[in-house]
A and B are shown apart, each in its own frame.
Chain A
Amino acid sequence: MTKRQTRMVAVAGLVFGLGVAAALAFTAFRKNMMYFYTPSDLVAHSVPEEAKIRVGGLVVAGTVLRADDLDVHFTLADCEQSVPVRYRGILPDLFREGQGIVATGRMASDGAFVADEVLAKHDENYMPPDLKEALTTADGRHSCAPFKSVTDASPAVAG
């Protein structure tokens, strides 16, 4: 091959490689992007059942029920709406009633949210930022008073 041909082959290879990489990235993106919802969003819009989503809200006091083994049921609420959540497994250290959490999972056909991961940060005053914003109204205050003591604390930045 002449120098010119080798260079063309190299360039073609590079373009091809970048194309494959871009295609990979794009499909992976579409499959793995998760949107964030609040309980109000879930009630207002229907979310396709197969879509994996994140839901943030506050654990309503008195709703946490441990069933047999490691099954747990609780209700997640923002100020207007609430949604029942089913989860099986270990809850994080800071999971407790009144605490803001973010759960990852899918909607079930009965309207409950089936979580496969529950996150609560390692700080009692911590409010997941997505959730904190969702609970904040235009005037910059939290829209529901009962949670105010929890949500007003500034988020701690972990190391």
Chain B
Amino acid sequence: MIPELGHFALLAALAVALVQVIVPVVGVVRARPRWMEVAVSGAQAQLLLIVTAYLCLTWSFITRDWSVAYVAANSHSQLPLMYRISAVWGAHEGSMLLWVLMLAGWGGAVSVFSRRLPRDVLALTLSVLGAISIGFLLFILLTSNPFDRNFPVPTDGRDLNPLLQDPGLVIHPPLLYMGYVGFSVAFAFALAALISGRMDAAWTRWTRPWTTTAWLFLTLGITLGSWWAYNELGWGGWWFWDPVENASFMPWLVGTALIHSLAVTEKRGVLKSWTLLLAILAFSLSLLGTFLVRSGVLVSVHAFATDPARGVFILGFLCTVLGVAFLLYAWRAPSLVNDAEISLISREGLLLLNNVFLIVAAAAVLIGTLYPLVVDAFELGKISVGPPYFNAVFLPLAAPLGVLVGLASVIGWKRGQRGELVRRLRWPLLIAVLTSLAMPWILHRQTQVAAIGGSLLAVWVMVATLEGIWHRLRNRDNRWRGLIQIPRGVWGMSLAHFALGVWILGVTFVSLYSVERDVRLGPGDSVELSGYTYTLIEVQGYAGPNYDADRASVEVSRDGKVVAELSPEKRRYRAQGSVMTEAAVDHTPFRDLYVALAESLEGGDWALRIYYKPMMRLVWLGGVLMALGGILAVSDRRYRLERAEQRSRVHSVEAAA
């Protein structure tokens, strides 16, 4: 009964979405406010219905309803409750449901928090979101219904993919989807601006907090995904340039460019058509990512041909959405006039450069991701493009971004003074040079050019950002009051930039100074790696809730003192008989000690993989701080002020009535 209710809720949501698209548009054309208002109630009704559907599916998982095919395929009677709840998005059908849930959530949020917008803009924005929702609801209902029943009903489920049975995965997809789908709001605003012809800088002001929010979720999602891969895939990598990762990274790059160009357009009234284009591109890449991950083409372009319904549907939808968006853009954008000229030596000039680098980097990732698919599709052979390609192309394109962050944090809008630039940045530069020369030697007694370059960039970004804050305090009598008076938007930006520095530092050290060794150890044997001695004490079997495991205990000591006891595991999940490696990690901010238990060899020996990874935590800390910067930025007073203003306006209107 419950699954049918969920199915019905989805159908109803589709009907509501149709109304949400058509009625407001007609309302705008005929200038009828009542009709436009339908968009708001439509978005909220849709959210309610999709939440209902989502809860129905969750209920089926919690109650172990094996008659639902999707539940039977992705759960098991012994699966713990937490994973039964997260298993909802453990495979295709449920992740698509999560996708529309997020979309409906964003639509609902826009309908609640954007009441201050001109009626027609709000109506058009929500109706664009409704149109996207129609596409995905149709996709779910026609090709991937999670509520399909199973007959005969199996006696037990086939279990959730063991890879996904990890706390990291409980929150990773929702965060990632929040970000991914959140770019739909910027897209909808851009389209509403194009349709209504109100392409002045106003739309950018409305869009900024939404885009930043989406971006911060995407940042957290990617960071968490990296952390999950590090712990759960068992082999100590934190980024693989895997197509699925790239699918989320490309929207992030373009989204980052969008955040910056939105700022330029709002402040200076320039780059208007570029910003519109970026808003369209960011969401296009989100859709492309969904297509890549969900159509099966990544497994093989021919897998696409064997189950064409899904892939063809998303591809068709992708083409429709992009076609409409770019047509609108081509029709309207040429009429845009910028309010000012851009000079290269100015904040907007540098931000434009930043955009160029970000977009080219995104394009390079896109080419590397799609090229093997294209080659395969044309039967030109089977190739794969490995991480070396991405590193070789991405790093040289990303490094100038670090240089630009430092410059842009001190240069003014309109026209910067070269002299001032030099005067203010000579100390940060000196500090960066000295620190970067010293740091690799002090930490690792070994210097490489790349390590100096990386630290130089990292310290430069951090110090120049701090200088930006310091500069705001220069004429204050009371520096503490000055600190408090700095707007949160500026704090957010500075924190995010500082975080970029932290991230660069982490990446530099972990890539250059990691040490990895595969070893064969018997109980009581030890091995030394980077000054730490690892001793295998014993390996014991134990039974988990839905798996059996071998657990090793490894003692790590340094200079005779025990610093950590690690217990890596090898698990065998009973339902599917699949084997999983659970690595064990001991970490401080400056280093990770990582041990993974591999295979059992003859004579009671075990193969183990041991890593020493310096500054690994900084990579994720950088990601988390960036997201915190995003939170600070969206909590800026001016957004709250606008809302308060609008509330008081509504009150006074009501009072007058």
Q: Which residues of A lie under 8 Å from residue B511 when comparing CB positions? A: none
Task: Say whether A21 contacts B579, CB under 8 Å.
Answer: no
Closest CB in chain A relative to B457 CB, distance in Å: 18
Q: Beyond A24-B393, A28-B392, A93-B580, is A10–B344 a contact (Cβ under 8 Å)?
A: yes
Task: Say whether B389 contacts A29, CB under 8 Å.
Answer: yes
CA distance A31 to B386 in the complex (A): 10
CA distance A24 to B367 in the complex (A): 12
The residue of chain B having its C-beta at the shortest distance from the C-beta of A20 within the complex is B396
Interface-located stretch among A73-81, A107-115, A123-131: A123-131
Q: Which residues of A lie under 8 Å from residue B389 when comparing CB positions? A: 28-29, 31-33
Among B90, B300, B356, B396, contact of A129 (Cβ-Cβ < 8 Å): B300
The residue of chain A having its C-beta at the shortest distance from the C-beta of B609 within the complex is A90
Please tell me if A159 contacts chain B, counting CB pairs below 8 Å. yes
The residue of chain A having its C-beta at the shortest distance from the C-beta of B74 within the complex is A159
Q: Which residues of B lie under 8 Å from residue A130 when comparing CB positions? A: 300, 382
Among A90, A91, A123, contact of B578 (Cβ-Cβ < 8 Å): A123
Please tell me if B581 contacts chain A, counting CB pairs below 8 Å. yes
Task: Say whether A29 contacts B371, CB under 8 Å.
Answer: yes
CA distance A157 to B296 in the complex (A): 7
Among A25, A28, A124, contact of B577 (Cβ-Cβ < 8 Å): A124
Task: Say whether A28 contacts B397, CB under 8 Å.
Answer: no
The residue of chain A having its C-beta at the shortest distance from the C-beta of B300 within the complex is A129
Q: Which residues of A lie under 8 Å from residue B341 when comparing CB positions? A: 3
Q: Which residues of A lie under 8 Å from residue B303 when comparing CB positions? A: 129, 155, 157
Q: Which residues of B lie under 8 Å from residue A35 when comparing CB positions? A: 381-383
Task: Say whether A159 contacts B580, CB under 8 Å.
Answer: no
Q: Beyond A21-B393, A24-B392, is A34–B384 a contact (Cβ under 8 Å)?
A: yes
Task: Say whether B578 contacts A24, CB under 8 Å.
Answer: no
Q: Which residues of A lie under 8 Å from residue B173 when comparing CB positions? A: 159
Contact mask A103-139 → B, CB, 8 Å, 1/0?
0000000000000000000111000011011000000
Q: Beyond A10-B344, A90-B607, is A129–B302 a contact (Cβ under 8 Å)?
A: yes
Closest CB in chain B relative to A116 CB, distance in Å: 12
Please tell me if B360 contacts chain A, counting CB pairs below 8 Å. yes
Task: Say whether A28 contacts B601, CB under 8 Å.
Answer: no
- Residue picked from A18, A27, A158, most chain B C-beta under 10 Å: A158
Q: Which residues of A lie under 8 Å from residue B299 when comparing CB positions? A: 129, 155, 157
Range class of the A interface residue count: 35 or more
Closest CB in chain B relative to A55 CB, distance in Å: 11
Contact mask B323-334 → A, CB, 8 Å, 1/0?
000000000000
Closest CB in chain A relative to B61 CB, distance in Å: 16
CA distance A32 to B392 in the complex (A): 10
Closest CB in chain B relative to A113 CB, distance in Å: 17
The residue of chain B having its C-beta at the shortest distance from the C-beta of A27 within the complex is B392
CA distance A9 to B364 in the complex (A): 24
Task: Say whether A6 contacts B163, CB under 8 Å.
Answer: no
| Residues on B facing A (Cβ under 8 Å) | 90-92, 95, 161-164, 173, 234, 296, 299-300, 302-303, 341, 343-344, 356-357, 360, 363-364, 367-368, 371, 381-386, 388-389, 392-393, 396-397, 518-520, 570, 576-581, 598-599, 601-602, 607, 609
Task: Say whether A70 contacts B396, CB under 8 Å.
Answer: no
Smallest CB-CB A-B distances: 3 pairs: A129-B300, A28-B392, A36-B382
Task: Say whether B344 contacts A21, CB under 8 Å.
Answer: no
| 11 residue pairs A–B, Cβ–Cβ below 8 Å | A6-B343, A9-B344, A17-B357, A29-B371, A66-B601, A66-B602, A90-B609, A122-B162, A122-B579, A133-B300, A155-B303
| Residues on A facing B (Cβ under 8 Å) | 3, 6, 9-10, 14, 17-18, 20-21, 24-25, 27-29, 31-36, 54, 66, 69-70, 88-91, 93-94, 122-124, 129-130, 132-133, 155, 157-159
Closest CB in chain B relative to A117 CB, distance in Å: 10
CA distance A59 to B302 in the complex (A): 24
Among A28, A90, A94, A159, contact of B579 (Cβ-Cβ < 8 Å): A94
Task: Say whether B91 contacts A159, CB under 8 Å.
Answer: yes
Q: Which residues of A lie under 8 Å from residue B363 when comparing CB positions? A: 21
Q: Which residues of B lie under 8 Å from residue A69 when comparing CB positions? A: 520
Q: Beyond A10-B344, A66-B601, A157-B296, is A25–B302 a contact (Cβ under 8 Å)?
A: no
Q: Beyond A21-B360, A21-B397, is A122–B163 a contact (Cβ under 8 Å)?
A: yes
CA distance A18 to B344 in the complex (A): 17
Q: Beyond A21-B393, A90-B598, A159-B91, is A29–B302 a contact (Cβ under 8 Å)?
A: no
Q: Which residues of B lie under 8 Å from residue A88 when comparing CB positions? A: 518
Q: Which residues of A lie under 8 Å from residue B384 when comparing CB positions? A: 33-34, 36, 54
Q: Which residues of A lie under 8 Å from residue B161 when comparing CB positions? A: 122, 158-159
Q: Beyond A157-B92, A159-B163, is A28–B580 a contact (Cβ under 8 Å)?
A: no
The residue of chain B having its C-beta at the shortest distance from the C-beta of A94 within the complex is B579
CA distance A32 to B91 in the complex (A): 32
Among A3, A31, A36, A70, contact of B388 (Cβ-Cβ < 8 Å): A31
Task: Say whether B392 contacts A31, CB under 8 Å.
Answer: yes
Closest CB in chain A relative to B502 CB, distance in Å: 26
CA distance A47 to B597 in the complex (A): 35
Task: Say whether B300 contacts A33, CB under 8 Å.
Answer: no
Q: Beyond A6-B344, A24-B392, is A122–B578 a contact (Cβ under 8 Å)?
A: yes
Task: Say whether A158 contacts B393, CB under 8 Å.
Answer: no
Q: Which residues of A lie under 8 Å from residue B609 when comparing CB positions? A: 90
Q: Beyond A32-B385, A70-B518, A124-B576, is A90–B599 a contact (Cβ under 8 Å)?
A: yes
CA distance A43 to B184 in the complex (A): 52
Q: Which residues of A lie under 8 Å from residue B581 when comparing CB positions? A: 93
Closest CB in chain B relative to A88 CB, distance in Å: 8
Q: Which residues of A lie under 8 Å from residue B164 when comparing CB positions? A: 159
Among B234, B360, B388, contact of A28 (Cβ-Cβ < 8 Å): B388
Closest CB in chain B relative to A6 CB, distance in Å: 7
Closest CB in chain B relative to A92 CB, distance in Å: 9
CA distance A23 to B578 in the complex (A): 44
Q: Which residues of B lie under 8 Å from residue A34 when comparing CB positions? A: 383-386
Among A17, A24, A70, contact of B520 (Cβ-Cβ < 8 Å): A70
Q: Which residues of B lie under 8 Å from residue A29 when comparing CB positions? A: 368, 371, 385, 389
